[in-house]
Each structure stands twice: as C-alpha cells, then as structure tokens.
Amino acid sequence: MNIAIVGGGNRCTRLLEFMEEYNFHELNPKVVALVDEREDAPCMPGAKKKGIFVSDDYNDLFARDDIDLIIEMTGNEEVFYDILRKKKKKVRAFDTRTAQLFWEVSRIAEKQKDVKKELEKTKITYGVIMNELIHEEVMVISPSYEILDANDSLLKKLGLTREDIIGRHCFEISHNQDLPCGGEHHPCPLRKTLHTKEPSQATHVHFDKEGKEIYYSISTYPIYEKEKLVAVAEISKDITKDIKLQKTMMQQQKLASIGRLAAGVAHEINNPMTTILTTAMLLQEDLDQDDPTYLELKTISDETLRCRKIVTSLLDFARQSKPIKKACQINKIVADCITLTRKQAAFEDITIISNLSEDLPLVSVDKDQIQQALINLSLNAIEAIKKGGKIIFTTRLSSPRDAIEILVSDTGEGIPEENLNTIFEPFFTTKETGTGLGLAITFGLIEQHGGTIEVENRLGKGRSFAILGEGSTFTIRLPIDREGRNAD
C-alpha cells in the first residue's frame, strides 16, 4: 500500500517511525509522498534523505497513479474535505484522528503481553476512542451486515439507543431499506471491504429519524482476529453542509452567468420583436377580420407577444438588484400577496387560506422582492392545481428560533421526484407556455436575503397539511432581524 501524507509535523515523524518499527502482517505500507507548505517542517529532512517525493502543494498528489491512501495530518477539516473531493475514486483517504485511532489500537495489540490486561485495556481504549475521541459516527458491523456496536455520535444523530440497533442490519438503520445498498450510483463500501479484505470509501445519502437526507463520506476498515476477518469498522463523516454549500455556490454562479447572458439576449431581440408586432398590427388595420391574411397576421401578433413575455421574464431575471432592506412584518407581506392573487385564484375556483402565527419578530427584507417571490409561488400553485383546490400560506418560527418560515402549500398532484432537484434551474419548465424563469428568480431573491427556499412532496402532516392533504410545499426561511427596529 503506497501512502501519501499531507502535513509534515511531529505527528508525521511519529507515524513514520511507527511504520518502520511495526511488523505488518497483512499489508506492506510505504510512504511515497509527503506534502507540507513549510520547508522546515520536522518531517521534511528525513523524508528527503529517504528519497520520498516532497511538495508544498497537495494538489500534486491527484495526478499520480501510484497512491493508494492519503492521510491528512494537518488537522484542517477544509483541507481534508478538499482532498475527498479531488482525489481519484480508487484512492482512500482519512484524517489525523482516524490515523490515530488505528495506530493506537495497533500499538496496544502489539505491545501488551498479559492477555487479561490486554483485553481490559483494549476495551477501555475502544470505549474512549469510540465515544470520546472520535466525533465521526462509527459502527462495527459483522460480515452478515448485523450491527455489533455503535458510538454515541451515531446514536445521537439517529435519535436511537444502542439497544435499538444492536443486532439489526446496517442498511435497515441507515437507509430504511430491506436489502443492502449497491449499484453504480449507491456503492456499498462495506460489501467491497468484505469482498476484497481491504479498506474502502464511498459517499452515501442516509436518512435521519425525520426522513431528511444526510450526506456522508463513508470509510470501511476490516477487523481481523487470528488472521480472520470478523467485522468491519465503518466511519461516517457528515458532509451535508459542504454538499449544500457547494450546490448553493454552483447555483449562484449559474444564475449570475445566465443573468448576464439573458440581459444581452433580451436587449438584442426586444427591438426587432417590437418592429414585428407593430408592423403586423398596422397591416391588420387595413384588412377585414374574415380575411385569411388577417388571421395569419393575428397569429404573428400573438406569437410575438408571447416572445415579448419571454423577453420581459429574461430582463426581470437579469435585473435582480441588491435588496433594499427594512424591518418588516412578514405577515403583512404575506397578507398583501394573498390580496393581490386572491381574485385570480377565485376565477379558477381555488381557495387561498392563511395560517399566520401571531407575534412574529421583525425580519429585515426588501418588501417588494419578497412579495414578488411569494406572488411567483402563488401563481405557480394556481396553475398547478385543479378547480376546487386550496392554497395555504403559513408563517411560523423555525426550530431553532433564528428564522421565520413561510410555507406555500397546495393540493396539487405534487412535483415528480425526478424534477425536485432541478425545479429552481433557469429555463426548466414543464408548462407548454412557461419560460422556466419564475422559480429561478424566486430562488435568487431569497438567496440575496441570506435565506433559503426548499420544496418537498409529502402526505398530510400537522395543522396545515391536515387541511390540505397530499401536495407540494415550498418553504422559505428568512433570518430574524435582531436589531429591534420598528416595522414599516
């Protein structure tokens, strides 16, 4: 096994010394690369003497084909997450604490001679490592996928006790399914470790007790007893925040690029569209309405008007200006939105219901922009549901109480699961006459306020959903204004 180390401090020196002294039975580890920004790092001189490749940039490692494992020993989580994103799929990686875990366990097993003392000390060390030193989530799993043990971090995350999960299958607890995970898009590192008898790594989506998605980087390591693989240690690192941040940054970059493109295109074609529309209307004035040419010109006018509608949407999308924030009552903004859209909803025989929490604190927002976002959601809901349907606006404090949530729910058929991840993408639409910009504009407006917007399909749950039943819900979260300013 060829190893690359990132971080040339004292811990790196101790690790190199340990690897030279320790008698490995199953593996033949060899350090082939060392990275540290400091030329005078403690480990660098010794590495150079041994002919080990050294660099001041860990990005040099990713082009190499001879590295099996990268050990991050700087203690910097951002560096570790960056390595996880950039490394080749076949290359495994773990951080300082994980290296320390297996180093300490190996030292204890090697040096203790008295069987009883060895067992007792191992148990103590195992307990400390599992529940105090390792903040990642750890499961020890049998070859038959049964959970043998789990640390407190995992139990707390799942909201379960050790008795709840011991003896149950790992895929049942972490994925809420009856069979082991697998396939190209959801590989099982545990299965691979059981097959190859070597460590493995993958990124998975798990579910918490409320069914919400949690992204994990999962590493599995074989556990041997008398040269027989008896269990696998699975260490999971929650990278949900990093994944969401990455998605948000990509969305913002995409919106900015498309906004610039949209502005240019809209300005270029707006004048020709106006000329076409005016000419068609002038020609119509000289013809009778029964004249076939008149009907052809009407088609030209109608289609040109539709093009102008798209151009207007493009300009709205490109002109997302910086919000001018003032302390506002969110319930008043919601009430104004309902007033503006109630008549159109009534025309479609759709009822709008409000369920607004009282005594909500102020929020610092641009009232017009938030109202535009809510109107977009309301009009989308009106178009999406059948006659006799309902739309409900709900306001409430979030948990924890650091934001106000605005929920816009409907009694429609919901959004196809395959569209949930792309619904806020610019130009994505399922409507024949839609521009695909309404939700993209809404997303941008909420993001500019430091808030978030999410969508979900779900069965009726709680007061709002008891009224509506099955449908879709858009949830906007806006941070609370803590400055105590007076409302408009």
- CATH number assigned to the domain comprising residue 189: 3.30.450.20
Alpha carbon distance 129, 104 (integer Å): 9
pLDDT of residue 204: 76
Residue 124 lies in a domain: no
Residue 215 lies in a domain: yes
- pTM for the model stands at 0.42
pLDDT of residue 481: 63
pLDDT of residue 468: 43
434 & 334 share domain: yes
Residue 291 near residue 419 (C-beta atoms within 8 A): no
The domain boundary, picked from 238, 260, 280, lies at 238
Task: Identify the segments of the chain with pLDDT beneath 50.
Answer: 113-115, 124-126, 128-133, 459-469, 483-488
Residue 14 lies in a domain: yes
Residue 53 near residue 44 (C-beta atoms within 8 A): no
CA 296, 298, 302, 308 torsion-angle sign: positive
Residue with tokens 């924890």: 400
441 & 459 share domain: yes
Residue 83 lies in a domain: yes
34 & 170 share domain: no
For strands 200-207 and 363-365, give the pairing.
unpaired
Residue 129 lies in a domain: no
- Domain holding 441: CATH number? 3.30.565.10
375 & 349 share domain: yes
Three-state SS at 40 = coil
Residue 302 lies in a domain: yes
Three-state SS at 472 = strand
The domain boundary, picked from 207, 238, 269, lies at 238
254 & 149 share domain: no
pLDDT in tens, 273-300: 888 888 888 888 888 888 888 888 888 8
195 & 248 share domain: no
314 & 399 share domain: no
**Which residues make Cβ contacts (< 8 Å) with residue 292, sequence separation at least 6?**
none
Token pair of 437, please?
């910009």
For strands 390-397 and 351-356, give the pairing.
parallel
The domain boundary, picked from 95, 127, 158, lies at 95
334 & 308 share domain: no
For strands 30-35 and 53-55, give the pairing.
parallel
180 & 287 share domain: no
Residue 363 lies in a domain: yes
pLDDT of residue 461: 40
pLDDT in tens, 156-186: 878 888 888 888 888 888 777 788 877 666 7
- The count of structural domains within the chain is 4
258 & 217 share domain: no
pLDDT of residue 137: 79
Q: How many CB atoms lie within 10 A of CB 217?
A: 23
Alpha carbon distance 277, 265 (integer Å): 18
pLDDT of residue 108: 58
Alpha carbon distance 350, 395 (integer Å): 20
Identify the domain containing residue 234 by its residue range.
135-238
- Domain holding 54: CATH number? 3.40.50.720
Alpha carbon distance 182, 185 (integer Å): 8
Alpha helices in 348-473 (DSSP H): 367-384, 438-448, 462-468
Residue 299 lies in a domain: yes
358 & 432 share domain: yes
- Domain holding 257: CATH number? 1.10.287.130
74 & 45 share domain: yes
Residue 186 near residue 207 (C-beta atoms within 8 A): no
